[in-house]
Amino acid sequence: MNILKFKSESWWTRSCGGIDVLRQAVPLIISCGSISLMNFTDRMFLMWYDPDSMTASMQGMMLFWSAVSIPIAVTAFVTTFVAQYSGSGNHNRIGAVVWQGVWLGFVMTPFLFLIEPYLIQLFVLFKHDDNLIQLERMYFDYMLWGGAATISGEAAASFFRGRGKMQIEMYNNLFCVALNIFLDYCMIFGKCGFPEWGLAGAAIATMISQWVRFIIYIVIIFIIDFKDKRYKIISGMKLNFRLIGRILYYGIQSGSYTFVDTITFTLFIMIIGGLGELERNATTIAFTMNSLTFIPLTGIGIVVTSMVGNQLGSNQPNLARRATNTAFVIGCIYTGFFAILFITVPDLLLLTFSIFSDEKEFEAIHSLTIILLRFIALYIFFDSCAFIAGSALRGAGDTTFILRVVFIVAPFLPLLCIVGINFFGLGLMWCWSVLTVIVFVYFTSFTLRFRSKKWESVRVIEKELQKGIVTIQ
């Protein structure tokens, strides 16, 4: 009996233990990993086509994510609502909250086009070459036409994430990533009857795949509603301003810190873009390699947000805490593996970028990129822990604390880089050193907040729908 009891309470088999977390995390790791593969392939194709196009895609994409960071954070926060409604047994509220997120996505998108001329001035501010600015703007403008699908797609995905149905997102993402890679190849190089559009082809391929992803989610949601009426999908389509208000209240807090974090990182990328062609190309490749680690890690973060929200919805904070601790272990093992690769076999990892590139031109990029990969190997452990702890806080709805930390810490990234470059003549190594320190500060702040347990009493759903007696902070 003791042996059986030990096995049932082991790290692997206990509730919210290794098997529980991995069962939901693996599909999302695969799903997010496929997005990493898409970004990697996209930039690899563009490196073969034209190194400036590769860099422009990175700069344009970062500006796009800065522009949509608040809307996406608002609609993605629907996951927390779905998880807490599901955990508390209020399934009839799920359809309504998902649709309010979808409508918010479509309403917020037009504002992106209004601010486009002002955002583009950032490229001018950081003294990018005129040719590079034209490429960056072209890529950014094409991405905007997929903005509604990207933003509302997060709300649609929340219907599955919040209920722990991660396999659906995995299959959808895998299909759309495969479509994107195929269209990339055809539209960049002019294959299979497509014209040779270069960088524009890469952006259009991404835009199309985002719309396909969103449409597939909506179709599946309606199919589920046809079989299971408890989510109230059809009746939930009507506007619910009270529920929209709750989404905006928590989502804008989440979006504000996401925006600040994203825009400061985008400024970091743009500052490096002004240092020179070698520095910006090496940084683009290094962050493309880093995405192989970080983007799949976002899958673990989504699972933590969902599981924490679900367990807090059923008023079991001990299980929410356990799920997060389990994710810490998985995340550290995962990032540790990549840290070893970045240190021991960087030449092998960079091989694909060099195949069709000019040998002399790539030699200098190669040497500098290896140094940058060592920076990544140094900070990815802290980055993973900070991200997982932050995901747990988001699952509870403890967004105010995260907002305060990010508003205080994030601006130091571009600020210290600018000071070091303009007043002390420092360069790329200084900028990457600042980035590493900033990651460590996030790690310290979020993990200490998680260990304090103050987040365990926070809820986002209506008080009358909560299980048990809860004090909202």
CB 58 within 8 A of CB 43: yes
How far apart are the C-alpha atoms of 337 and 25, rounded to whole Å? Answer: 17
Q: pLDDT for 182-241, tens place per residue?
A: 999 999 999 999 999 999 999 999 999 999 999 999 999 999 988 888 999 998 999 999
H helix or E strand, kind and range, residue 447: helix 428-452
CB 48 within 8 A of CB 355: yes
Structure tokens at 11: 């790290």
Let me know the angle formed at the C-alpha of 199 by 193 and 201, rounded to the nearest 5 degrees.
35
pTM of the model: 0.75
Q: pLDDT for 411-427, tens place per residue?
A: 999 999 999 999 999 99
- Averaged pLDDT score across all residues of the chain: 88
CB 391 within 8 A of CB 301: yes
How far apart are the C-alpha atoms of 189 and 50, rounded to whole Å? Answer: 11
- 8-state DSSP, 466: S
How far apart are the C-alpha atoms of 310 and 307, rounded to whole Å? Answer: 5
Q: What is the mean pLDDT of residues 450-469?
A: 72
Q: pLDDT for 1-44, tens place per residue?
A: 444 444 456 888 888 888 888 888 888 778 777 777 788 888 88
Overall size of the chain counted in residues: 473
Let me know the angle formed at the C-alpha of 232 by 228 and 236, rounded to the nearest 5 degrees.
150
CA atoms within 13 A on the CB side of 322: 19
pLDDT of 48 reads 86
Cβ neighbours of 418 (radius 10 Å)? 15
**DSSP for 209-261, written as a single string:** HHHHHHHHHHHHHHHHHHH-GGG-TTGGGS--HHHHHHHHHHHHHHHHHHHHH
Residue whose structure tokens are 């409508």: 103
- Whether 274 has a pLDDT exceeding 80, the answer reads yes
